[in-house]
Amino acid sequence: MGSFKPKVNSSVELEWKTNTGKNGTRNKGIRDGVIKVGGKEEKEDRISGLPDCLLLEILSLLPSTKDAIITGTLSTRWKHLWTSVPTLIFHYDEEKYQWSDFVSLVDKTLTQCRQLKLKKFEVIIDYCTQFEPHINNWIHYAVRCNVAELNLYICHITVGCKFFNSSSFTDPTIRDCILNPTEAISWKMIRSVNISKGKFDEDLIEKIFSGSPLLETLVLDKCYGYRRLDITSKSVKNFVLSGKMYAKDKYAEDIDDVIEINAPHILSLTIKGRLWKLLLVNVASVVEASLCYTNFGRWIPPKEIEEERLKGLILNLRHVKELKIEGFCSKVKFLLLSSLCLS
């Protein structure tokens, strides 16, 4: 007997049961809506009796859009509900899909969707050159639907120009994409942006700040292409630097390069991940900071150099109200007390 169970709480469960015959086959068209209260079943189709807004909220919580589509087999009432779900999630799995089949699935799904405004649009997929036009069409679809949360994990695709002109994005996460805007960026509603494993140079950072007047949080995760970060926007209050790609990585950069951070207006600073040389030029407004970066295995510097490096960071942060030192940095955290005594 197959069943679909969105759990409401610990004592109440909504359940669809599909009746099966003696031989285990499904009896076409026979379905019972059941609600369990304290373990007791009450024969009443209460699921289909729920308002559409609640059913759509339930479907939005499913792991993927494919799962939402499958619920269309539950009953006639559910058949087309998925087309109005404000959340679209597509994850490519090479063990389940051929490339062309996955692309066709997404293309077909988007043509059937009736939602004019999306809360979330997420695509996780390995990049294949021949399908770049399709992928950019998906992104453009999300932009047209005024998506708020956009998550793209697409290896090495060059994102189209429409991506950089959206008045609906609030907190996009972009991973492995190539961001190369040819014109000005216009992200009027963005408050947080997370860029991972992408090229992030001076030109891009300037365009992001110029076109994002409400931006408060910037997260750079294992990006490359920069030696100095000038975060001069007065709206940006939180900055997270999580590692950087170096010579051992695909995008070769000199490990001896010093990363300079000039962020006079930020209030919160987090430095973590694989990093080498850092110089805090100006972080005068920071009140909360966290240091949790790690070394590079065989690229471990002499103890004296590492202690001096951490000491330099601590001295530049001695004015903060709260300073956390974790991970690899904690091995030399005894420097904290002595450094804070220096003023």
Residue 61 domain-assigned? Answer: no
If asked whether residues 221 and 312 sit together in one domain, one would say yes
CA angle, 278 then 281 then 283, to 5°: 100
Q: Are 211 and 186 in contact (CB under 8 A)?
A: yes
Residue 236 domain-assigned? Answer: yes
pLDDT attached to residue 300:
56
Residue 65 domain-assigned? Answer: no
Q: What tokens does 228 get?
A: 């100095």
Profile the chain (343 residues) by mean pLDDT over runs of 10 residues.
Answer: 39 40 43 46 62 90 92 83 95 86 94 92 85 92 95 89 93 92 94 92 91 97 90 96 65 64 97 82 96 63 66 87 76 50 47
If asked whether residues 142 and 265 sit together in one domain, one would say no
Integer Cα distance of 320 and 293 in angstroms: 19
Q: Residue 167 sits in which domain range? A: 86-190
If asked whether residues 202 and 287 sit together in one domain, one would say yes
Half-sphere exposure of 109 (CA within 13 A, CB side): 27
pLDDT attached to residue 333:
53
pLDDT attached to residue 246:
55
pLDDT attached to residue 35:
41
Last residue of a domain, one of 190, 211, 228: 190
Q: What tokens does 196 get?
A: 């991972």
Q: Look at the block and give the residue holding tokens 């799904």.
A: 109
Q: Are 236 and 243 in contact (CB under 8 A)?
A: no
Give the strand order in the sheet containing 258-262.
Answer: 228-230, 258-262, 277-282
If asked whether residues 339 and 201 sit together in one domain, one would say yes
CA angle, 243 then 279 then 218, to 5°: 50
Integer Cα distance of 341 and 343 in angstroms: 6
Q: Are 335 and 314 in contact (CB under 8 A)?
A: yes
pLDDT attached to residue 60:
92
Torsional sign, CA 127, 132, 134, 137 = positive
If asked whether residues 259 and 336 sit together in one domain, one would say yes
If asked whether residues 341 and 202 sit together in one domain, one would say yes
Q: Look at the block and give the residue holding tokens 């189709």.
A: 45
Q: What is the DSSP string of 64-105?
A: SHHHHHHGGGS-GGGTTGGGG-SEEEEE--TTT--HHHHHHH
Amino acid at 163: F
CATH number at residue 321: 3.80.10
Integer Cα distance of 172 and 191 in angstroms: 9
Chain centroid to Cα 327, Å, comes to: 24
Question: Looking at the 3D structure of the chain, how many domains does it have?
Answer: 2
List residues bridging with 259 in a β-sheet: 278
